[in-house]
């Protein structure tokens, strides 16, 4: 309740851009979106009970003409090499 009147919903641009532009002093957004915005500093994650993870899925259509290529891409996306790349962008790799 103490900060209720100070909350501002940002629309039309990333929250991190609003922070960098001085429109707001602090913002909450996905870490991988905050990091590349000049003029912002990632301060750390929210407490565990406030974190909501986005979940993504991947599939290959039964009628795909390139099923083998698609399966190789999925294999790479779940590999240790891809996990290292994801962590560099502040994302968590999929659990297997």
Q: What is the DSSP string of 70-89?
A: HHHHHHHHTSHHHHHHHHHT
pLDDT of residue 89: 82
Residue 3 confidence (pLDDT) above 90: no
Residue 20 and residue 58 share a domain: no
- Give mean pLDDT, residues 68-96: 88
How big is the CA angle at 10 (ends 4 and 93), to the nearest 5 degrees? 100
- Look up the pTM and report it: 0.63
**CB contact at 8 A, 74 and 60:** yes
Residue 59 and residue 24 share a domain: no
Residue 28 and residue 6 share a domain: yes
pLDDT in tens, 7-24: 999 999 999 999 999 999
Residue 58 and residue 45 share a domain: no
Residue 90 and residue 68 share a domain: yes
Residue 52 confidence (pLDDT) above 80: yes
Taking the CA atoms of 39, 85, 33 and 42 in sequence, report the sign of the dihedral they define. negative
Confidence of residue 96 (pLDDT cuts 50, 70, 90): low
Residue 23 and residue 48 share a domain: yes
How big is the CA angle at 86 (ends 77 and 78), to the nearest 5 degrees? 20
């Amino acid at each position: 309740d103490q900060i209720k009147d100070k909350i501002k919903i940002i629309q039309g641009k990333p929250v991190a851009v609003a922070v960098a532009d001085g429109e707001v002093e602090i913002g909450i957004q996905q870490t991988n979106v905050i990091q590349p915005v000049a003029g912002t500093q990632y301060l750390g994650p929210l407490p565990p009970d406030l974190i909501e993870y986005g979940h993504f899925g991947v599939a290959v259509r039964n009628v795909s003409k390139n099923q083998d290529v698609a399966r190789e891409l999925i294999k790479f996306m779940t590999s240790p090499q891809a996990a290292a790349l994801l962590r560099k962008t502040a994302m968590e790799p999929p659990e297997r």
